[in-house]
Chains A and B, each alone.
Chain A
């Protein structure tokens, strides 16, 4: 009877382009998760741990990460950890696994060759298929012939060739477990947890997924697998354990009025643990300058609460209320003329509406007046929108 943890795709050192300054924090989280896995391993008294590839996000991550990773795996001691190089951290000459510091751990084995590994204290033979190149069409598991009476566990990293996925990198035969005579085939590469049934209906092949989600849309990630195998030929008992902490969420909201903005704000404030959330709010609608302004200020105010917070306003159209805008300032010489000028400029773009209350002749006159100003002539719709908003905000400040 053997019990082990099956995990993969830790992707330490991964880059989070969209998180900006929070990226580092997010990376930190991944390290915490790995540490947690060590804790879980000890708690569950496992015989060994399998990390089936992509422990590192690439061979080009900061070498300091090796120290961090070392520390993590040290935390597993004395439980043996079998690490398989994956397609992101293949065993090429610049591989991090060649660093001499790995040798200092007695309980860590980097699977470097396609050779069966007999475990010293258990009746288990491991069949690792290390990735030694960045790409290949070869099925690296093909060599496995598991005969004999020991529990045979394969470790591989690649893409199962199930229906619909034909032309892939690192292909793995979907029936490998059966063909090779394996009791269990521990895979890595897919970030969402997924189990593959054999022809006999028994699940011997599984992806644990990444223990911490790496981006939006990775449903079913943030887990590791605890596997028990009674004996040679027995059905593996697979249990899922949650490890992920960060929440990646995408919201879609309509925006038309101040109410909508306020509502959004309420939703946001009600969220628990905002610092563990990564939220993208996709807004859609038509707003006037006041609503837009509020939306922007909402974004600014809440951004710091969350690990990452973004309001995507690509689909939100600004429709400034010229009259209201003008009314903000007492009737002077210049303010309304400036507002008119911007309005006229905006109306040149099809995506923006025409300036109300202005006859075509007046529009022409205004255009002639401002045509010598480069910034006016070359201003994009976004710049014009921003100009209106700025004007609004500054005017508001003064009129208070």
Chain B
């Protein structure tokens, strides 16, 4: 169905009538916002899909604002090779359908019939509620895009699908098949959940499974209970067994106790007897002890007396011996003391001698020293004399010092140089005599007489002037006019004067002699120094002191010698003997004496030591003697004591024998009793202790057994109680088994059935999808090539779902499908755009169909837009396309398009604009 013209009156903003003619191919309606573009397109739908009597909001909104006029629309369209004209007026409803027959409009229907017939012609349905929607527009659902809704959200309606099916020749699902599949579906969803994955909660299978679980659980619980019950039974059995055995033991123990009672009685008696006996034994024992003691003491005392006496005898003997010894030691000591005295004396003598020798020695030494000193004095004197001489000489000597000498020499040297130079540049007179000549030479130096014989030559020098006087001849005077010579001569004269000055002090001018003087002075200086040094080296610088000391020393010597007694042998050294020898002899003597002294001292030491030891010995002996005496004394005292006690002990009896007899008697008695007692005591263990122990142990055992029995009985009763409780609440597990078995069978059947249903359901779906697939193939093909062109090779194909709607694209790079909503809005828009065009082309197989695109590709960029429009142009070869846009420039380059501007239409009345 394609639209030829639309005529609108009183239609929304079209207050003035407006008519638009459409071409067969591409129509582009453009105009600014609110110019009525969409209103124009909407009118198609309003006319086709609303009853003329409609009063809905939508219809009422067709009335232009502020007016009460009824909106009127007239549309001429072409369907199946015939032209029709529908006129509808709303509010004041009117509806007419006409057909063009033989170039004339023939009315076909009016009113409701017209509405219905129209719908039959173009397809679609009326809405049951107020507004119409795309699903009700037949194939228009896909082909006619509403502004702002580039996607088709609802499932494709029957008409679209049937139209496609018819075209494609796909096998159609029959009504009966539909019904069958509906039943299968119903059965399926009865058993399975909505998703088809699990068992539905309310289904019989699920209930049975739940029941089975319940029963299993109960079974498990019962099993636990049964195990528990068995446990309790075993417990009871065990306890009763033990209880029984304990009861038997108790009986035995009670019997045992009876037997033991008697033995305990016996034991008691035994103990009493034993105790009595023991007491007796103790008494007698005491008596025995006392008596024995007495006897012992007597004997003891007697023995002691004897021993004391013996001791004393011994001691006296000892004492005698000691006294002898004492005498010995006293004598020895006396002797030694005498020796000591002697030795001391000797030592004293020697000491004296030594002393004298020392004095002599000292004196000799001093004399030697004196000699030395006297020598020294001489020397001192000598030196002083020499010194005096030299110093005298020194004073007399007039000699230059070194500096002076040096200076003198220097000047002399200069003088000599000057002279030499002068000589050199001065005048030289050489005379060689051819005959004998004599004369005088007068030069600066003086006059020189000369005599030359024949053939002799002589040379005289002068500086500036020289006058040769030859006897009998005459005089020659030669003067040098050289300046130099004159200068030199001047300097020479100066030098000579200087020389004179400096050597004036000295007696001579001769340098040599000056030198010698200097030398001599130096020598003398040296001598003086040497002498002084030597003098310094002497211990005495001062002669007088030395003399004094010598005198002193002489005095001392004299004193020393006087100390010696005249008879002393050493005095002989006092005189004039060789002191050295004397010294040596004296030394030797002294040494000898000292040695002797040593020996004596040693001897003395020995004697003293011996004395000491004897002394100690003597002390020791005295001590021992004292001890012995004390002992003796002590013993005598003791003896007195013992004898007195002995008397006391033997006071009231005849003698020792009587006492001893008494003792024997007692001993016998005691022995007998003791034996008996021992016998008793031997039996303590067996007769006294054991029965008691056994009895006590038996009692304890009985007590324990009673307790155990008590406990066990309680335990048994308690466990029995528990068992009974368990039994009371008992439920037969077999009944559960029964039910379970039954449920299992039923479940098995239901499972099989469920599987069968699922199989059928799946097969139905499989084949349905296959059917649809065959339906979608042609659409896919068109879309694929268009997509390629528009979107590039990135996307391989569009995926359509089982109901022919695009749901995704296959991405070439990933070989995977991407869902539509994962693509950008622009791309989605483009895909739907292509889809509409593809479907339109398919459906236009037999007659042109109308595709409406209200502001499509709003989100498409320039490059894609261009390609999209190429596809549009291409499609317009087979379709009628109406594009609504506010931007006609986009579509400018489409050469074959019919551009309809609405902005002018509004203002002008009937209008038909062709470019």
Instruction: Give residues in A with beta carbon < 8 Å to B.
Output: 13-21, 23, 57-58, 60-63, 92-94, 99, 329-330, 332-335, 337-338, 341-342, 369-370, 372-376, 379-380, 382-384, 386-387, 389-391, 394-395, 397-399
Contact = CB atoms under 8 A, between A and B. Distances in A.
Contact of A332 (B176, B187, B746, B752): B176
B599 interface: no
B741 A63 contact: no
Nearest to A390: B756
A19 to B, nearest CB: 8
A335 B174 CA distance: 10
B755 A383 contact: yes
Interface string B160-183: 000000000001111011011101
Contacts of B753: 386, 390
Contacts of B757: 387, 390
Given A15-B737, A62-B730, A333-B767, 11 more contacts: A17-B737, A19-B742, A21-B742, A60-B730, A61-B734, A332-B173, A333-B177, A382-B752, A383-B752, A390-B757, A398-B179
A329 B742 contact: no
Interface string B677-720: 00000000000000000000000000000000000000000000
Given A61-B732, A63-B730, A397-B183, A379 B770 contact: no
Contacts of A395: 180
Nearest to A386: B756
Contacts of B760: 338, 387, 390-391
Centre residue among A18, A61, A93, A379 by max chain B CB count within 10 A: A93
Contacts of B731: 62
- Classify the interface of chain B: helix, strand, loop or mixed: helix
Contacts of B728: 63
B890 to A, nearest CB: 45
Interface string B748-789: 000011011111101110111011000000000000000000
B194 interface: no
Interface stretch (B29-37, B229-237, B469-477): B229-237
Q: Which 8 A-B pairs have the closest CB atoms?
A: A333-B171, A386-B756, A15-B734, A20-B742, A332-B174, A387-B756, A93-B233, A383-B755
B768 A94 contact: no
A395 B758 CA distance: 16
B228 to A, nearest CB: 11
Contacts of B823: none
Contacts of B173: 332-334
A334 B771 CA distance: 8
B756 A384 contact: yes
Nearest to B763: A338
Given A329-B180, A332-B174, A398-B176, A92 B767 contact: no
A375 B762 contact: yes
Contact of B763 (A13, A62, A373): A373
A379 B771 CA distance: 24
Contacts of B734: 13-15, 57-58, 60-61
A342 B755 CA distance: 13
B763 A341 contact: yes
A389 B760 CA distance: 11
Contacts of A18: 741-742
A384 B759 contact: yes
Nearest to B744: A17
A92 B172 CA distance: 76
B766 A373 contact: yes
Given A63-B728, A92-B233, A369 B742 contact: no
A85 to B, nearest CB: 15
A394 B190 CA distance: 15
A264 to B, nearest CB: 20
Nearest to A13: B732
Given A94-B233, A333-B171, A333-B771, A342 B179 contact: no
Contacts of A62: 730-732, 735
A93 B180 contact: no
Nearest to B178: A332
Contacts of A333: 171-174, 177, 767, 771
B214 to A, nearest CB: 16
A331 B171 CA distance: 10
Interface string B116-155: 0000000000000000000000000000000000000000
Nearest to A389: B756
A337 B767 contact: yes
A329 B176 contact: yes
Interface residues of B, number: 51
Contact of A394 (B180, B733, B735, B758): B180
Contacts of B767: 333-334, 337-338, 341
Given A395-B180, A398-B180, A93 B763 contact: no
A23 B738 contact: yes
A312 to B, nearest CB: 12
Contacts of A391: 760
Contact of B759 (A60, A330, A376): A376
Contacts of A383: 752, 755-756, 759
Nearest to A391: B760
B184 interface: yes
A377 to B, nearest CB: 10
A13 B734 CA distance: 9
A373 to B, nearest CB: 5
A94 B229 contact: yes
A139 B131 CA distance: 96
Contacts of A13: 732, 734-735
Interface string B181-197: 10110010000000000
A22 to B, nearest CB: 10
Interface in B526-542: none
Contacts of B184: 394
Centre residue among B237, B729, B756 by max chain A CB count within 10 A: B756
Given A17-B737, A61-B734, A332 B229 contact: no
A329 B734 CA distance: 49
A181 B354 CA distance: 163
A93 B237 contact: yes
Contacts of A337: 763, 767
A383 B753 CA distance: 7
21 contacts: A18-B742, A62-B735, A63-B727, A63-B730, A93-B236, A93-B237, A332-B177, A333-B767, A334-B768, A338-B767, A370-B766, A375-B759, A376-B759, A383-B756, A386-B752, A390-B757, A390-B760, A394-B180, A394-B183, A394-B187, A398-B183
Contacts of B741: 17-18
A342 B184 CA distance: 15
B719 to A, nearest CB: 10
A288 B861 CA distance: 67
A246 to B, nearest CB: 16
Nearest to B760: A387
A386 B755 CA distance: 9
B759 to A, nearest CB: 4
Contacts of A61: 732, 734
Contacts of B226: 60
